[in-house]
Homo-oligomer: A and B are copies of this chain.
Amino acid sequence: MRGHAARVIRMCPARPAVTRETVLDQALTLFAERGYHGTPLSEIAEALGIRTPSLYNHMGSKHELLETILTRTLDEVLADFAAAVRDVDGPAARLHAATRVYALRHATHRREALVVNRDTTSLDEPDLSRVRERRREHERAVRAIIIDGVGTGGFQVGDPALASFAILEMSVSIARWFRDDGPRTAEQVADEFAGYALRIVRYRP
């Protein structure tokens, strides 16, 4: 720390401190609601209680906000996956764990998921390819589990790629309808979807 880490600054006592993280958080909320192109910086600023140009004290550009959100999110998805399947043996248990953690993430990080699925195409080229490659990486990892299961674990599925798409994308959709105050908890939904995954690949214990 450089002598003043986590310093709390508030010029007006009614206004909570604005930091790079609070800007990212508001951008995340509004991008998820209206989309990147549909969200003017003025709305982000207004939600934070400051004027638009003041945002530039906490960010480089609007584009960089999007890039940061997307990169962070995909890093977390891959980390989640790695942690979930580490020390788990057998294709059925691994597919169950991978689907569960992916579904859980889409229930608990709805905003991030909506932005990834809607606004990835708003990136421009160096980043776009990089982000897409990350998503493919995850899909390939899930597909590898399914292929493994077809060979050794009692899965019966005609096309592993098709099954992996179906499993991943039905999980993604959770972000579109899940509500924190709804009748089901995130964990319940994640467990149920993990069960769907095993049924899709026709796993018989």
**Residue ranges of A at the interface with B (Cβ–Cβ < 8 Å):** 33-35, 37-38, 118-119, 121-122, 158-159, 162-163, 165-167, 169-170, 172-174, 176-177, 184, 189, 192-193, 196, 199-200, 202
Contacts and interface: CB of A to CB of B under 8 A. Distances in A.
Contact of A162 (B33, B122, B176, B192): B192
8 contacts: A33-B121, A37-B38, A38-B121, A159-B192, A165-B170, A166-B173, A169-B172, A169-B176
Contacts of A163: 196
Nearest to A118: B118
Nearest to A199: B199
A contact face: mostly helix, strand, loop, or mixed:
helix
Contacts of A162: 184, 189, 192-193
A68 B200 CA distance: 36
Number of this chain's copies in the assembly equals 2
A192 B35 contact: no
Given A34-B122, A38-B121, 19 more contacts: A33-B121, A35-B35, A35-B118, A35-B119, A35-B122, A37-B37, A37-B38, A118-B118, A159-B184, A159-B192, A162-B184, A162-B192, A165-B177, A166-B173, A166-B193, A170-B173, A172-B173, A199-B200, A199-B202
Nearest first, the 8 closest Cβ-Cβ pairs linking A and B are: A169-B173, A37-B37, A170-B170, A199-B199, A166-B170, A37-B38, A196-B200, A169-B170
A92 to B, nearest CB: 15
Contact of A121 (B34, B165, B172, B200): B34
Contacts of A170: 165-167, 169-170, 173
Contacts of A37: 35, 37-38
Contacts of A189: 162
A17 to B, nearest CB: 31
A35 B192 CA distance: 33
A177 B159 CA distance: 15
